[in-house]
């Protein structure tokens, strides 16, 4: 989905959905990040100006999921220890929740709770399987379904269709196919354009666009999709562990995982037994 589309094609794909603007703090952080020699002090000061984001960042890096031996009490220390790219990925992911919270839509509270769970679980899985994309796995976990709140605001009957989409999921029907039939767009497409307009890294936006296209991607055993697989593998495992199929799709079974689970585990070199052990240890982390 990396090819450039015309503004008309983008408007058609968005079906009247307006993408929220990137918060000013993210614009400022990214401008500093793209400097030839980014100043970590400037980055820390920008983050410290926003108490909500500062608190969220420290909560993430001090969580059992992140696994640091000593607690970090200051934004300066977090930025110096983790580096600007990691911190900006974490902050970017947190910002999306602030921009898309709507107290009038009760379903959104449940949505953001599960998005946070998926993000933390993706981060933990990426660390456990030795992935090089730990912070991006967190950002993808929180951002991958950001099209859902936007679809929900645009289409009042969206949640029943999403539930039907999870019920119908199988080898011949992706979750997004049911959405496309009802709305001529889907949450992956809307999320992709949101992430793109927020200047997330291209491989993260591609993963958002393709996160319900995992069967085709993991069936392709060439090396061309390796960056995509490296991001999608922790995400799809995390969605299964956090029961997105139940929280978002109101289903008792994870039909999507039934199609892709063996392929994903094979790609990361885990047996079913290894995965069950990982799942239990992650649940224990979450209970702390």
Mean pLDDT calculated for residue range 14-21 = 80
CATH code of the domain occupying 105-288 = 1.10.3210.10
* Residues whose CB falls within 8 Å of the CB of residue 41, separated by 6 or more in sequence, listed in order: 76
Mean pLDDT calculated for residue range 99-122 = 77
The full length of the chain comes to 288
Mean pLDDT calculated for residue range 155-180 = 95
Q: For residue 108, what are its two tokens?
A: 């959104």
Question: Residue ranges per domain, the chain?
Answer: 19-100, 105-288
pLDDT tens-place string over residues 24-67: 888 898 888 888 888 899 999 998 888 888 888 888 888 877 77
- pLDDT category at 268 given cuts 50, 70, 90 is very high
**Phi, psi values for residue 173, rounded to 5°:** -145, 110
What CA–CA distance (Å, rounded) separates 78 from 47? 11
Mean pLDDT calculated for residue range 260-279 = 96
Residue whose C-alpha is closest to residue 232's, from 212, 207, 256, 215 = 207
Q: For residue 215, what are its two tokens?
A: 């069967």
Give pLDDT, residue 172.
95
Residue whose C-alpha is closest to residue 275's, from 238, 245, 244, 243 = 238
């Amino acid at each position: 989905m990396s090819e450039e589309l015309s503004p008309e094609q983008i408007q058609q794909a968005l079906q009247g959905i307006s993408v929220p603007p990137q918060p000013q703090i993210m614009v400022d952080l990214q401008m500093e990040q793209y400097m030839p020699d980014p100043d970590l002090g400037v980055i820390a000061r920008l983050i410290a100006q926003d108490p909500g984001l500062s608190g969220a960042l420290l909560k993430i890096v001090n969580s059992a999921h992140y696994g640091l031996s000593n607690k970090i009490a200051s934004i300066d220390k977090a930025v110096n220890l983790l580096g600007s790219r990691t911190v900006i990925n974490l902050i970017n992911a947190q910002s999306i929740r602030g921009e898309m919270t709507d107290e009038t839509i009760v379903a959104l509270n449940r949505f953001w709770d599960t998005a946070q769970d998926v993000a933390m679980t993706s981060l933990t899985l990426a660390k456990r399987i030795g992935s090089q994309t730990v912070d991006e796995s967190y950002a993808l976990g929180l951002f991958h379904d950001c099209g859902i709140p936007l679809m929900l605001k645009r289409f009042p009957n969206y949640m029943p269709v999403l539930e039907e989409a999870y019920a119908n999921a199988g080898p011949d029907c992706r979750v997004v196919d049911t959405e496309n039939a009802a709305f001529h767009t889907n949450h992956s497409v809307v999320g992709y354009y949101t992430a793109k307009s927020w200047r997330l890294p291209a491989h993260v936006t591609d993963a958002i666009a393709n996160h319900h296209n995992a069967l085709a991607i993991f069936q392709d055993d060439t090396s061309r999709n390796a960056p995509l697989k490296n991001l999608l593998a922790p995400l799809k495992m995390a969605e299964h562990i956090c029961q997105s199929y139940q929280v978002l799709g109101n289903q008792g079974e994870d039909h999507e995982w039934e199609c892709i689970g063996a392929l994903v585990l094979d790609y990361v070199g885990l047996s079913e037994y290894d995965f069950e052990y990982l799942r239990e240890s992650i649940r224990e982390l979450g209970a702390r």
